[in-house]
Amino acid sequence: MSTTVLVTGGAGFIGSCFVLDWLATVKTPVVVLDALTYAGNRENLASVEADANFRFVHGDITDAALLAKLVAEIQPRAIVHFAAETHVDRSILGPGAFIKTNVDGTFQLLEAARNYYGTLSTDEKKNFRFLHVSTDEVYGTLSPTDPAFTETTPYAPNSPYSASKAASDHLVRAYHHTYGLPTLTTNCSNNYGPRQFPEKLIPLMILNARAGKALPIYGDGLNVRDWLYVGDHCSGIRAVLERGQLGETYNIGGQQEMSNIALVRELCAILDELAPAAKPYADLVTYVKDRPGHDRRYAMDITKIQRELGWKPAETFASGLRKTVEWYLANPAWPHHSWQCAALDSPFCAVVDGEN
């Protein structure tokens, strides 16, 4: 078995951060498989294109023949599965793509992994891992006084997106218990950081604010999310991959709960300081009709990963948000013009929420 890691969805926001961090720290070969849909961007990986340990493959995780061929060729020691449709509003208007990618795609990847795993020697099997990256949204919603989600919180997904991710989580669990596939699952809270697709809350707020456009917030703006800096998420995934117990799930959260309106106001204050405009950016905030089935609060209990693996987030929300704003201000040409326009003109960006 080689030391290669196969990363699905590695041109997306979180996947590309993982790839960049891996090549900078672990420095073993990475093969990225990505379909380059609207949220995938090769530019996210531009800094490692010439790295001898990096290879990109354009393809879809629903393509069983491609998966079988690729896995047999590269003989990965691990598969890290990021590839997914992730935006709740998109799932409400078009759930079919979420079922195809998140459910069928994960099934096809598990089948390829299972068939490959069956060809390995006993020693090689001991080293192989299949890590599935999921979301806190599978657990449903919390009231303001409910305790945070733990790994044993019953699943209660409330959108087509979260239901499709819940289904994929269950498939991964089943392949461990039925076939003995050495799986690991991580459920993360809302990610933010550089290079995030601009239909998500923080990058869209920054881009709209700098353009003098409205900053629309769903409902009363008091929906609460637990915010996780993307670099911390990647370090958490590496910890699980290296030391996690097979068949187990680990919550990865930032321990930074904040309402959407409080987040936007804090972001506006940073922009007022770093890139002042004629009027305070918070004057651009507008409230719009809430979306259907909008979860009120997410919060993650990360006791298990702290206790078992010694991981905790390095960034506070204040430090992570400032880093993020500074990066966007320093990279005004990102994303490239056509991609940015497509995102900002999308109906999915008419209003925003803090989904991961």
Q: Which two tokens stand for residue 333?
A: 């040409």
Given the residues 139, 161, 218, 229, the one annotated as active site: 161
Report the distance separating Cα 125 and Cα 128, nearest Å: 5
Given the residues 89, 136, 169, 232, the one annotated as active site: 136
Phi-psi region of 247 (alpha: psi -120 to 50; beta: other; left: phi over 0): left
Catalytic, 73? Answer no
CB-CB contact of 236 with 21 (8 Å): no
Given the residues 34, 60, 85, 137, the one annotated as active site: 137
Q: Which two tokens stand for residue 13?
A: 């926001």
Q: How far is CA 261 from CA 35, 58, 161, 286, 298, in A?
A: 34, 38, 23, 10, 15
Catalytic, 220? Answer no
What is the longest distance spanned by two Cα atoms in the chain?
67
Catalytic, 229? Answer no
Q: How far is CA 299 from CA 22, 90, 150, 167, 353, in A?
A: 27, 23, 9, 21, 15
Residues forming the active site? 136-137, 161
